[in-house]
Amino acid sequence: MVLLACLTCFVGLTGLTGCSSSGDIGNGTVAASTSAAPTAPVLDSNLPVDALPVIPAGKSEMVPCPYLDTQWVANTNGQRMIGQGVDARFNTPACVFWSFPDEPQATVIVRHMPTEQAAINVVDWAAPITTTEPVDENGWSGGRSGNPQGAVYAVQKGPVAVVVFSNQEQSLKAELIAKETIKNLNL
């Protein structure tokens, strides 16, 4: 009887029938309760360290970032916002913001890595220590750089990394966006 109840629940999980949480399998028979073994979270869908957000519709999309205000980003980066999108492959969705140029005006990536070293690797990919100015503030460490091609501000704390790319020369703009992200997400 228990085997039949378990089989009925299995079939229910595949969408053919259902089981109630009380164990009643629908015909008055009570099934044995089972609990699924907890599974470890798959951090950032096992994306590589150098994963960039993918927004299929590009700047024609207008999906708001769940943790940054659109107008705040536009004001901080100094450009009008005409498009934005999110990439939900990341545990915390990566956000991409566009102005008139084809390249994004700002890209925000928050990575939840399995280890602190993996988070450091994300920062080293985005802001290599050999070519950037070091950052060490409030437990967050990494690097920053700005030049005519754009700016980056990348920091990590424990297994979390925050990377912001801006199309502006000043790394201060990328830094402000990163700090707002950290604050809004309580990282």
pLDDT, tens digit, for every residue of 28-73? 444 444 445 555 555 676 899 999 999 998 889 899 999 999 999 9
| Same domain, yes or no: 26 and 98 | no
Residue 86 binned pLDDT confidence (cut-offs 50, 70, 90) = very high
CA 40 to each of CA 34, 76, 169: distance values in angstroms, whole numbers, following the listed order: 19, 37, 40
For a pLDDT cut of 70, what percent of the chain falls above it?
A: 76
Q: Are both 102 and 59 inside the same structural domain?
A: yes
Binned at pLDDT 50, 70 and 90, residue 95 comes out as very high
**Per-residue pLDDT, 42:** 59
Q: Are 73 and 122 found together in one domain? A: yes
Same domain for 154 and 105: yes
**166 shares its domain with 78:** yes
Alpha-carbon distance values, 57 to 62, 84, 175 (Å) = 9, 10, 27
The CATH number of the domain holding residue 103 is 3.40.1000.10
Are residues 76 and 121 both part of a single domain? yes
Percent of the chain with pLDDT over 90: 71
Average pLDDT over residues 114-136: 95
What pLDDT is attached to residue 61? Answer: 85
- For the stretch 129-139, pLDDT in tens is 889 999 999 99
Whether the per-residue pLDDT at 6 is higher than 70: the answer is no
**In this structure, are 50 and 112 located in the same domain?**
yes
Q: Count the domains in the chain.
A: 2
Residues 6 and 50 in one domain: no
- 120/85 same-domain check: yes
User: Do residues 2 and 47 share a domain?
Assistant: no
Q: Which domain holds residue 85?
A: 43-184
Helix (H) or strand (E) holding 7, with range, is helix 2-13
Higher-confidence residue of 92 and 1: namely: 92
- Whether residue 107 sits in one domain with residue 22: no
Residue 47 and residue 121 share a domain: yes
Q: How far apart are alpha carbons 107 and 84 in whole angstroms? A: 10
Looking at the predicted structure, is the pLDDT value of residue 13 above 80? no
